């Protein structure tokens, strides 16, 4: 059972009798669907609809105190705590940063973790990512012995973006980071911060920029941050990569134009092609319906 300690993750606890409605009114995903048996994935947005921070949401069983644990990017945990406190107002909610005492571990082969490995939950974004667990930090080393690079290589191979690597917090819309494809946005729940912008992009099909998986012809991925171009025109940037594959934030309409003109797609000077995974439902350049709902 290969597993790794994701040292770049933090943990926030949101508890109290108003915890569920408090989060429901703030974040993009539907908290009503989050139970101790099923984790969720969502984000807190700016009023303009851009991602401040995304996170996995884990419901704590009532027998263990109830509430929710947010599996968050470490570098944004303090900012997320600050923003949640601003929105708390008179809600009967307690907020605690558990990062120093709690570790996030994840399988590196898409498999299961031992049932007694802390609070275990399936990664809600994609079945192939396997299980994660929130565990006492002092015990993490006993279970998680694989390098984090193995987990990221699997994530890249499956096509799942990660904030700070494949899109920039404060700059990307949920559609651009594929939250609409990975269960991170509910289009049926009530209002939340930034909801109007996200709904408009969904109904008008105006998401031209997307994180998509790419495969490099030479079997070696370009460095993270490398410019993607075609015919001398910018397409976007290359994100995290492994084993000749990468995730890239690209203007898909410009990719389509380059393909129509017979111009190679280049990342860091190396040729690449798009590789559509099964979970992505919107049409890629060259597919029927592209341009109507990119």
CA 247 centroid distance within chain:
12
Question: What pLDDT is recorded for position 106?
Answer: 97
* Coil, strand or helix at 76: helix
pLDDT by 10s per residue, the chain, length 294: 799 999 999 999 999 999 999 999 999 999 999 999 999 999 999 999 999 999 999 999 998 999 999 999 999 999 999 999 999 999 999 999 999 999 999 999 999 999 889 999 999 999 999 999 999 999 999 999 999 999 999 999 999 999 999 999 999 999 999 999 999 999 999 899 999 999 999 998 889 999 999 999 999 999 999 999 999 999 999 999 999 999 999 999 999 999 999 999 999 999 999 999 999 999 999 999 898 644
> Furthest-apart CA pair in the chain: how many Å?
61
Q: What is the pLDDT of residue 36?
A: 96
What value, to the nearest 5°, has the Cα angle with vertex 51 and ends 45 and 52? 75
pLDDT at 291: 80
CB atoms closer than 10 angstroms to residue 2: 16
- How far apart CA 135 and CA 120 sit, in angstroms, is 9
Other beta carbons within 10 Å of 139 = 13
One-character DSSP codes across 261-282: TTPPEEETTEEEEE---TT--S
Write down the pLDDT at residue 270: 97
Is 245 in a helix, a strand, or coil? strand
What pLDDT score was predicted for residue 75?
Answer: 97
Model confidence pLDDT, tens digit, residues 133-168: 999 999 999 999 999 999 999 999 999 999 999 999
Provide φ and ψ at 67, rounded to 5°: 85, -160
Instruction: Name the 3-class secondary structure at 21.
Output: helix
DSSP string over 1-70: --EEE-TTEEEEEEESTTHHHHHHTTBSS-GGG-BTTB-EEEEEE-TTS-EEEEEEEEEPPGGGT-SEEE
């Amino acid at each position: 059972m290969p597993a790794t300690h994701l040292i770049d993750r933090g943990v926030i606890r949101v508890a109290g009798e108003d915890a569920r409605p408090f989060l429901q009114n703030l974040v993009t995903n539907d908290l009503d669907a989050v139970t101790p048996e099923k984790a969720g994935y969502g984000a807190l947005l700016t009023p303009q609809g851009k991602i401040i921070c995304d996170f996995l949401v884990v419901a704590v069983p009532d027998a263990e105190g109830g509430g929710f644990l947010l599996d968050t990017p470490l570098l944004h945990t303090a900012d997320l705590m600050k923003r949640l406190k601003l929105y708390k107002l008179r809600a009967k909610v307690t907020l605690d940063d558990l990062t120093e005492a709690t570790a996030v571990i994840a399988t590196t082969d898409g498999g299961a973790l031992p049932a007694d490995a802390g609070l275990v939950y399936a990664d809600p974004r994609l079945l192939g990512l396997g299980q994660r667990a929130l565990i006492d930090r002092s015990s993490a080393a006993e279970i998680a012995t694989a390098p984090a690079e193995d987990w990221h290589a699997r994530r890249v191979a499956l096509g799942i973006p990660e904030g700070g690597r494949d899109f920039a917090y404060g700059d990307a819309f949920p559609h651009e980071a594929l939250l609409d494809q990975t269960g991170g946005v509910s289009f049926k729940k009530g209002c939340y911060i930034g909801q109007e912008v996200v709904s408009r992009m969904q109904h008008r099909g105006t998401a031209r920029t997307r994180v998509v998986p790419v495969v490099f012809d030479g079997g070696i991925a370009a460095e993270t941050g490398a410019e993607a171009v075609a015919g001398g025109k910018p397409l976007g940037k290359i994100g995290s990569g492994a084993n000749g594959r990468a995730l890239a934030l690209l203007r898909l309409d410009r990719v389509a134009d380059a393909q129509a003109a017979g111009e190679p797609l280049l990342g860091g000077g190396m040729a690449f092609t798009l590789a559509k995974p099964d979970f992505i439902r919107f049409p890629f350049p060259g597919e029927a319906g592209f341009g109507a709902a990119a």
